[in-house]
Amino acid sequence: MYILDKDKARSLLLTKDSNPIVIETFLDNFPPLDDSLGQLVDQWLDDQQIPDLVIDGISLKHLMSFRDSNFLKAIRDLNKLLDPSLSEADRQQWIRILNTPRFYE
């Protein structure tokens, strides 16, 4: 499993978001990722370029735009689809959730 460099992520996120408490909470709860995503995350931490990644028909770039997510939130959500212990029914439910736009009041 890939473990995020939280110090590097924190420094980068603080330049983009003004709420350090939200960033700390997010990073404290950030799960280990599938090893296949590690190189993409490390590359993003270095250059902030969004890679062309599609998992189960869901594009990382689309997910970021559609659900108003930053890179790390979107990669965390896509990572769940790579969990081998996820049942097919749960996988399909997660795909449906990820394909549902977020609405704010």
Please list the pLDDT of the chain residue by residue as tens digits (105 residues). 999 999 999 999 999 877 899 999 999 999 999 999 999 999 999 999 999 999 999 999 999 998 888 999 999 999 999 999 999 999 999 999 999 887 654
Within a domain: 1? no
CB 44 within 8 A of CB 51: yes
Q: Check residue 31 and give its pLDDT.
A: 97
Within a domain: 105? no
Q: Check residue 57 and give its pLDDT.
A: 95
Residues sharing a CB contact under 8 Å with residue 73, sequence separation 6 or more, in sequence order: 26, 67
The tokens of 19 are what? 């709420």
Domain around 16:
6-98
Strand partners, 33: 2
The total of structural domains in the chain comes to: 1
